[in-house]
Amino acid sequence: MKFAAFGIATALQFAATVSGFAADPIRIGDINSYSAIPAFTIPYRNGATLALEEINAAGGVLGRPLELVSRDDNGKPEDALRAANDLVFNQKVVALSGTFFSNVGLAVSDFAKTNKVPFLAAEALSDALTWQQGHRYAFRVRSSTYMQAAMLAEEAAKLPAKRWAVIAPNYEFGHAVVNAFKKLLSEKRSDVEWVSEQFPTQGKIDAGATLQAIGAANPDAIFNAMVLPDLVRLVREGNDRDFFKGKAIVSVMTGQPDFLDPLKDEAPVGWIVTGYPWGEITTPEHTAFLAAYRKRFNDYPRAGSVSGYTTIKALAAAMVRAGKTDSESIVDAMSGLDVESPFGKVTFRSIDHQSTMGMYVGRIALKNGVGTMSDFHYADGAKYLPPDDEVRRLRPQN
């Protein structure tokens, strides 16, 4: 028994070491919820791997190869903290990256602050990461909760709808995105009324009952932030009940392939969404990224792939800009750094360390029996952040 465990451990250790035989690589410690939500995080890791391979093929960073040491956080902040500890003190990584869930992102961010290690959050969306609990060592790639709410509020304000209902998952992201959306839409339109609010438990939506309860308030429009797998139940139940007819639906992230693909031909056409219509974007940066990604993985990218790719490119760019790899130099270089992403140039703002990477905003459409987006435009993240003095007020100044 013991021998078996020992054998497995050594075999794995061996497998782990042969992949990184190159002399004196620069290591980046990556933490993500690979076992908890593989559908979102494996594309992330693919994107990161692609960036890594491109960088190393071009001679690495500062003449040294880049290496990614990847750890699963099991979807739990405490496991992420243990992994961070292992990565920083054992594996001697120069920076931490990754995280999907907000609480995991915030936990690793706190670890980075205590231990003075750069942390580039890839996908954790909580506004607190760059604002209320922001600090010198934490940065983020993806458009935050607030930014996505702002992009959708802009579209929602153009609709005639006055009576709004909201439905969002019952955890921090759901409440935060609803609060931001309500605040921003009410500012733009003093005539809107909020008539119903539902916060179903993530993963356990009672879709029929929830929709009926919302319908009883007779809204003209609905703001939705439900994610998978609840989204599927919501859409099916709504279609069966003809619930969405005559109502405008504004929905967060539903235009991402990771959300649309499972819905197949039942994708809710006409919803106004933030997303990533990978097959429709014609910018040269994205075309190149798409071709490289398809060639390497024989699959198309998801939203996470773009984040993963940009995360590694950004860390590499910061090290090149700094000219060295110590924590303080990397952090200094990250601040105000410009990076080429598949969505074009993005900047890590020095005021709050949020990147200006945006998202695509448009309507869901069906193409060859699969959901995609139509009438979309790229919403540049820089335009959807609050004024600087408000950011300063939100963020601890030290």
In this structure, what token pair is assigned to residue 109?
């961010």
Chosen residue from 19, 35, 283, 350 binding other proteins by CB under 8 A:
35
Chosen residue from 38, 270, 344, 386 binding other proteins by CB under 8 A:
38
How far apart CA 226 and CA 250 sit, in angstroms, is 11
Q: Which CB, 195 or 382, lies closer to other proteins? A: 195
CB 231 within 8 A of CB 255: no
Chosen residue from 110, 123, 352, 380 binding other proteins by CB under 8 A:
110
CB 80 within 8 A of CB 93: no
Report the length, in residues, of the chain.
398
Chosen residue from 19, 22, 59, 114 binding other proteins by CB under 8 A:
114
Chosen residue from 16, 288, 291, 320 binding other proteins by CB under 8 A:
16
> Which residue in 78, 76, 84, 116 sits closest to 100, CA to CA?
76
Return the DSSP state at 143. P
Contact flag: residue 193 with other proteins (CB under 8 A): no
Judged by CB under 8 A, which stretch of 56-64, 240-248, 303-311, 386-394 contacts other proteins? Answer: 240-248
Contact flag: residue 374 with other proteins (CB under 8 A): no
Min separation Cβ 296 and other proteins, Å: 18
| Residue 188 three-state SS | helix
Min separation Cβ 245 and other proteins, Å: 10
Please give the radius of gyration of the chain, using alpha carbons only, rounded to the nearest integer. 21
Residue type (1 letter), 12: L
Chosen residue from 53, 54, 220, 261 binding other proteins by CB under 8 A:
261
Chosen residue from 24, 242, 375, 389 binding other proteins by CB under 8 A:
242
How far apart CA 235 and CA 265 sit, in angstroms, is 11
Min separation Cβ 128 and other proteins, Å: 7
CB 326 within 8 A of CB 137: no
Q: For other proteins, what does the binding mask look like between residues 316 and 355, x meaning CB under 8 A?
A: ----------------------------------------
Angle at 106 between CA 104 and CA 111, to 5 degrees: 95
Contact flag: residue 127 with other proteins (CB under 8 A): no
